[in-house]
Copies of this chain bind each other. A is one copy, B any other.
Amino acid sequence: MAREHFEDVEVGETRTFGEREVTREEILEFAERYDPQPFHTDETAAADSLFGGLIASGWHTAAMTMELLVTNVFTDLAATGALGVDELRWPSPVRPGDTLTVHTEVIDTEPWNEELGLVRSRTTTLVDGDEVMSMVGLVLYERRER
């Protein structure tokens, strides 16, 4: 299948995909291992926190967003890895039972070297239409051989 290379990417291109449920068990499992703050690991402490109940680690939301990107989109792209991410924000919490959807929009492209081009995309993670995470990903794509 023809994968989308750097030259094929158009600024303004959008995609919306994914319908991924977040379970209580997975929130606890991720948090106990990687982000053991009480509002991520302990129902009672979470109820007494600013958040009023258990919420997913922001890094867990990022990991689940990556899962949706890789399984829905990356197989169609000649993407070779990311330099990084700018403006990562968690404007509202993810709670047990929420369903995540992802929206991406290409905001900028520039050649990187002979083989690769850099694509900046704004990626937004949504629950019932509300933003729970946003970021600008800096991903390198292969250029077509000339």
Contacts and interface: CB of A to CB of B under 8 A. Distances in A.
Contacts of A81: 37, 39, 50-51
Contacts of A51: 81
A84 B89 contact: yes
Interface residues of A, number: 33
A86 B89 CA distance: 9
Q: How many protomers of this protein does the assembly include?
A: 2
Contacts of A36: 67, 70-71
A100 B102 CA distance: 31
A62 interface: yes
Interface in A50-84: 50-51, 57-60, 62-64, 66-67, 70-71, 74, 80-84
Interface of A: 30, 33-37, 39, 49-51, 57-60, 62-64, 66-67, 70-71, 74, 80-90
Given A36-B67, A86-B87, 8 more contacts: A33-B67, A34-B64, A36-B71, A49-B80, A58-B82, A59-B66, A84-B89, A85-B88
